[in-house]
Amino acid sequence: MLEPEQPHLVAVGLGPGDPELVTVKGRRAIEAADVIFAPRSRDDETSRALRIAQPWIDPARQQVVPLTIPMQRDPARAQTAYQQIAATIGARLSAQVAGRPTGAARGVYLLLGDPLLYGTFTTLRTALAARYPQIAVTIVPGITSFAAAAARVGLPLSLGDERVAIVPAPADPGALRELLARFETVVLLKLGRALPQIIAVLDELALLGAAVYAEYLGMPEERIVRAVGSLRDYQAPYLSLLIVRREE
């Protein structure tokens, strides 16, 4: 239970990109917030999450704080970046508490997809708890990109006791072959440069017809491809996925 003067941060999963897929609870959290924290990967980039949430933000009443979080493969650098972001969030919410006549400051942290599935929010939450333990954190789940993709093409992710694997695209073809042998449905995320190699494995296993490719779901750039063999030379963006459903 929140104390009356306890600052509060809500991580809102916005789903894959279509504003109509944002949950009612997520919309209410955005509308009730004093401060909106909108992550982006570069300073010169508009936050995709902010664009999705825009219909429920009132600039006259709410502060919007862009947070630049560059992609980091080095764990130490990533940790430093999230400590800096945690400091920014903590300082903003603390300032809001000091400036409010009554009640606690309410902040919302916007995220694509679901906050707890291959997201960075868990790292941020840990950094925030270490430095600002007085800030209460709650999480609003969001629709995942692969659930949205399956719905768009009418593809069941699993039936009965079928098994599903959800993994980042493996760089090792052998690892992919093992996944495809063990699971009836395999969802590959963050395809990038691995896509041509993945398609080669699917071709080898006669599974090209069992796959569907999607990128930028719910966004203006959305693209869904059933003939995945046509993507052999394509470098997929970060916001991409492939669903392979093997039917016996």
Position 3 in a domain? no
Give the predicted TM-score (pTM) of the model: 0.90
Domain of 69, CATH number, reads 3.40.1010.10
In whole angstroms, what is the distance from residue 241 CA to residue 218 CA? 13
Residues 47 and 129 occupy one common structural domain: yes
Residues 17 and 67 occupy one common structural domain: yes
Contact 9, 128 (CB under 8 A): yes
Residues 130 and 160 occupy one common structural domain: no
Residues 45 and 153 occupy one common structural domain: no
Position 1 in a domain? no
Residues 153 and 222 occupy one common structural domain: yes
Position 2 in a domain? no
Task: Tell me whether strands 240-245 and 211-215 are parallel, antiparallel or unpaired.
Answer: antiparallel
- Give residue 62's domain range: 8-140
In whole angstroms, what is the distance from residue 171 CA to residue 188 CA? 11
Please give the chain's pLDDT, 248 residues, in tens.
Answer: 455 568 999 999 999 999 999 999 999 999 999 999 999 877 777 899 999 999 999 999 999 999 988 766 667 777 788 899 999 999 989 876 555 554 568 999 999 999 999 988 998 999 999 999 999 999 999 999 999 999 999 999 999 999 999 999 998 999 999 999 999 999 999 999 999 999 999 999 999 999 999 999 999 999 999 999 999 999 999 999 999 999 86
